[in-house]
A and B are shown apart, each in its own frame.
Chain A
Amino acid sequence: MAKETGMISWKELALGCAVTRPGSAMDLKTGDWRSQRPVTDFEKCTKCGMCYIFCPDMVYSQKPEGFYEANMYYCKGCGICAKECPADAITMVEESV
């Protein structure tokens, strides 16, 4: 736990307080920030990939069948995907309490 939060002894810090684990930000669950989440209607989805390339948080990845799936660990619920989807396949719904 300490290592992830950075609360380690000064003796254990990397030289010059560098971060030596590339992409360590992936530990951070930015999905906790959202108050709404995108829901994709795969009947309407045309696999165009706009949601994928327009997501500031790299939330979407392509499934084997070609549909794009959202990784809720990181999704901040900004709504860009829903707004930009040319097929109107994505709807933002309130995050459950």
Chain B
Amino acid sequence: MKSAAEALKGFKKFNPKKLPVEEPLTPGHRACQGCGEVLALRQVMKALGHDTIVASATGCMEIITSSYPHSAWKVPWLHVAFENAAAVASGIEVGYKALMRKGKIPEKKVTFVGMGGDGATADIGMQALSGALERGHNFIYLCFDNEAYMNTGIQRSSSTPYGASTTTSPAGKKSIGQSTWKKNMAAIAVAHGTPYVATCNPYYYLDLMNKAKKASLVEGPAYLHIYSPCPTGWRCNPEEALTTARLAVQTKIFPLYEVIDGKYVMSRKISKPKPVSEYFAIQRRFRHLGEADIAYIQKRIDEEYNHLLLLAGETPGGEGEAKEE
């Protein structure tokens, strides 16, 4: 089996002036106004194209795109349950593999996708994901991370950031909101030996689309962790969905990187990082945080980012110019 690096040799990036016009995801879906998650999904699907089969977990993207009799999907799509998208995708991939090998259907390059939110991925779907990654299925797993169980009403997940207020980790007199640090799903995917792992963000759409395309070219599993702004759950204005996305990267809260055959590669250099307080200021889920809380978070964010740079073989502090797309 080819390594990811070999599969990606000569990779042709998307031309911003000639983006694919295909929309495998159609308008008429029921996402909230300003939903950053469906935007990210749209961008991924444009990058992947129509020869894609999607297995979706229960969640926002499933509900808003498949309310009978309306389907926003122009590719084959299957939803089964909340915690098993990765297992269902495994089955589809293997089914096609068997049928092609036995000559029952013509050989064809098909991209197999398993997708779910942070709940369906990091919590209830963790086992199925781990199994699928370990078995090495040739598929892409997409985690659309809006940092809580949004579809059921903004309940906390293990992906909810420290200090965020959700309905099951509400900020209060005796609570700072979420009291645990965000689970690092990308690191977990890397620990499974996943050949291609990347973090993505819909504001940095070219980076996102290139990574989605790369994921489809790699043999074996690929894991994409996709930052998905949720104005409804994060309590910001709908039009600020992409502002939060931009600030998430610029404050180093959501760094953009790839891990190719276990090697970390930064996608973006942040030469003049913004303080995390700017990110928190526009989201009411963080408005209860005091100076000490923000200082603590800033310190941890800085440490984690520096650690990431070390993993990527780069020197913290000596990053040079911000790299623009």
Answer whether residue B132 sits at the interface, using C-beta atoms and an 8 A cutoff. Answer: no
User: Which listed residue (B17, B39, B73, B75) contacts A55, Cβ 8 A?
Assistant: B39
User: Which listed residue (B23, B27, B34) contacts A30, Cβ 8 A?
Assistant: B27
In contact, A58 and B27 (Cβ under 8 angstroms): yes
Answer whether residue A87 sits at the interface, using C-beta atoms and an 8 A cutoff. Answer: no
Known: A19-B66, A23-B72, A33-B33. A78 touches B239 (CB 8 A): yes
Known: A6-B69, A22-B73. A80 touches B239 (CB 8 A): yes
> Considering the chains assembled together, what is the distance between the CA atoms of A73 and B28 in angstroms?
9
> Considering the chains assembled together, what is the distance between the CA atoms of A71 and B27 in angstroms?
10
In contact, A80 and B242 (Cβ under 8 angstroms): yes
Chain B residues within 8 Å of chain A by Cβ, number: 39
CB neighbours (8 Å) of A53 from chain B are 19, 43, 205
**Chain A residues at the B interface, C-beta cutoff of 8 Å:** 3-6, 17, 19, 21-30, 33-34, 49, 53-59, 71, 73-74, 76-80, 82-84, 92
Known: A19-B66, A19-B69, A25-B65. A79 touches B238 (CB 8 A): yes
In contact, B28 and A25 (Cβ under 8 angstroms): yes
> Considering the chains assembled together, what is the distance between the CA atoms of A6 and B70 in angstroms?
9
Interface residues of B in 21-69 (CB under 8 A from A): 23, 25-31, 33-36, 38-39, 42-43, 65-66, 68-69
> Considering the chains assembled together, what is the distance between the CA atoms of A30 and B65 in angstroms?
13
> Considering the chains assembled together, what is the distance between the CA atoms of A78 and B35 in angstroms?
9
- Closest approach, in angstroms, between the C-beta of B22 and any C-beta of chain A? 11
> Considering the chains assembled together, what is the distance between the CA atoms of A43 and B243 in angstroms?
25
Known: A30-B27, A57-B27. A83 touches B72 (CB 8 A): no
Known: A3-B69, A56-B39. A30 touches B239 (CB 8 A): no
> Considering the chains assembled together, what is the distance between the CA atoms of A59 and B241 in angstroms?
17
Answer whether residue B261 sits at the interface, using C-beta atoms and an 8 A cutoff. Answer: no
CB neighbours (8 Å) of B202 from chain A are 54
